[in-house]
Each structure stands twice: as C-alpha cells, then as structure tokens.
Amino acid sequence: MKVARILISAEEIQAKLAEMGEAITRDYQGTDLLMIGILKGAFVVLADLARHVRLPVETDFMAVSSYHGGTHSSGLVRILKDLDQEIEGRNVLIVEDIIDTGHTLKYLLRTLAVRKPATLSLASLLIKDDVERPHFDIQYEGFHIPNEFVIGYGLDYDEKYRNLPYIGVMDTDSTTSPTDVQDGFKLAD
C-alpha cells in the first residue's frame, strides 16, 4: 500500500484529542455523559478520545451504512446496529471519524433527536472542507482537511488501513515512479 503523504501525524492527532477531551471534561462536569461511536471508523477515535476525558463516561456504538452512488452520497442511511440502551434524558455525544457530505450525520442527528436525549452534541476528528453539506453544529472539531481521500486512524480504503496510526493521503496515481512511493506501514515507524 502506498501513502502519498502523511497529512496528520500520530502525535498531532493525540495532541488534538487531548484538547478536545479537555473541553469535553469541562463542558460535561457534573453530568452523566454517553459517548456514541459511529462504526466502523470511529472505533479508534472513541477509544483515544474517551481516555482524554476525565469523567466516568459511558460508551456505546452504532453502525450505519450510507449508500453512495456516483460522486454524491444519496443521503439514504440504514441502521445496521442500534444502541444498546435508551438515550431519553441522557447527555449524548456522537463521536465521528470524518464528516464528508454530512448525510450520515444529518440522518443520525435526526434519528437520535426523536429519542429525546437531554442534550445531543457532536465531535468529529476530521471535517472535509470545500464540501457542500447540510448545516449542523459541530461542538468539538478536530482538523479541517482538504477534500481528498484519506486513510488511517479508523478510516479505511476497501476495509483496510484502519490500523495506520496516522492520517494519510493514499497514493492512487499508478504512474508514480516506484522510488517516489512509500509503504504506509513503514512510515509509521
């Protein structure tokens, strides 16, 4: 596998998550917080972000599939795995790896709001810029990145590379000469 370049290093990710975790700790002091990771991508972010939150949080997961047709997401989302618990009256924080078209989140926010949580907020490690998306507030933002396909730190290409410790831009240019390309896992050393 070839990585064109490292966009965000493992150290930069941890520093950002520490900041986000501090803000979450401050904001949810004295309340009970349920952090919900959106599978599969967010399993890595949730694991690290939760450990930067100095509160006895609960965690849960949801899995959804979005149907992408052509260059635009259709906006159709299906729940593959629902939450294990009720969220009525709870302080809920959705944790995402990346917001691209925003269709997945728009659907999730609407679906979860119906269940009447006390509060419903959103944290995302990555937000793609220059993408037209429906408006919703993102209370805890990680990095704004260009509209390129990225892998690593939970993000996959064809279900692989979620275990890269950094966020990389995948080399999709088959004309790149072999001396220019690097093995993505060696880059992690």
Query: Catalytic annotation on 100?
Result: yes
3-state secondary structure the chain: CEEEEEEECHHHHHHHHHHHHHHHHHHCCCCCEEEEEEECCHHHHHHHHHCCCCCCCEEEEEEEEEEEECCEEEEEEEEEECCCCCCCCCEEEEEEEEECCCHHHHHHHHHHHCCCCCEEEEEEEEEECCCCCCCCCCCEEEEEECCCCEEECCECECCECCCCCCEEEECCCCCCCCCCCEECCHHHC
Binding of ligand IMP at residue 25 (CB under 6 A)? no
Contact between 136 and ligand IMP per CB under 6 A: no
Listed ranges 1-9, 25-33, 96-104, 173-181: which one lies at the site for ligand IMP (CB under 6 A): 96-104
Q: How far is the CB of 103 from ligand IMP (least distance, A)?
A: 4
Q: Is 17 in the site for ligand IMP (CB under 6 A)?
A: no
Q: Is 155 in the site for ligand IMP (CB under 6 A)?
A: yes
Q: Which residue in 66, 111, 139, 182 binds ligand IMP (CB under 6 A)?
A: 66
Q: Which of 45, 46, 150, 167 binds ligand IMP (CB under 6 A)?
A: 150
Q: Tell me if 98 contacts ligand IMP by CB under 6 A.
A: yes
Answer yes or no whether residue 149 interacts with ligand IMP by CB under 6 A.
Answer: yes
By CB under 6 A, name the binding residues for ligand IMP.
Answer: 41, 66, 73, 97-104, 149-151, 155
